[in-house]
Amino acid sequence: MANTKSAEKRNRQAQKRRARNVQVRTSVKTIVKKAREALLAKDPSKAKEAVRLAEKALTRAHSKGVLHAKNAARHVARLRHQLHAIAGAK
């Protein structure tokens, strides 16, 4: 338990930030999952749109400080690699 007013305030702030970060992280996971499902369906047009949305969500999460830069970049690169594989196959 916090002993000072400033420590209590920092705890309140941390709880708010944690709640916000969990919400953003959960939505990013959902969007990335939808993109992976679209890639597995091997429909290039749907997959392209889903990957675009996933990239946007990952970039936004990185800019808000929820995800590390390299983590977001790695996810985007892997999704794009899969997208190019199915786009080139058709």
The pLDDT, as a whole number, for residue 58 is: 98
Q: Which residues of 43-82 are buried (b: 16+ CB within 10 A; e: fewer)?
A: ebeebbebbeebbebbbebbeeebbeeeebeebbeebeeb
The pLDDT, as a whole number, for residue 90 is: 59
CA dihedral sign, ordered 69, 75, 81, 86 = negative
> What is the distance between the alpha carbons of residues 17 and 13, in angstroms, rounded to a whole number?
6
* CATH number for 58: 1.20.58.110
Local confidence band at 1 (pLDDT 50, 70, 90 cut-offs): confident
Those residues with Cβ within 8 angstroms of residue 67's Cβ, 6 or more apart along the chain or in another chain: 25, 28, 58, 61
The parent domain of residue 28 ranges over 5-89
The pLDDT, as a whole number, for residue 88 is: 81
The pLDDT, as a whole number, for residue 75 is: 98
The number of folded domains in the chain is 1
Q: Mind listing the pLDDT tens digit for each residue in 19-76?
A: 999 999 999 999 999 999 999 999 999 999 999 999 999 999 999 999 999 999 999 9
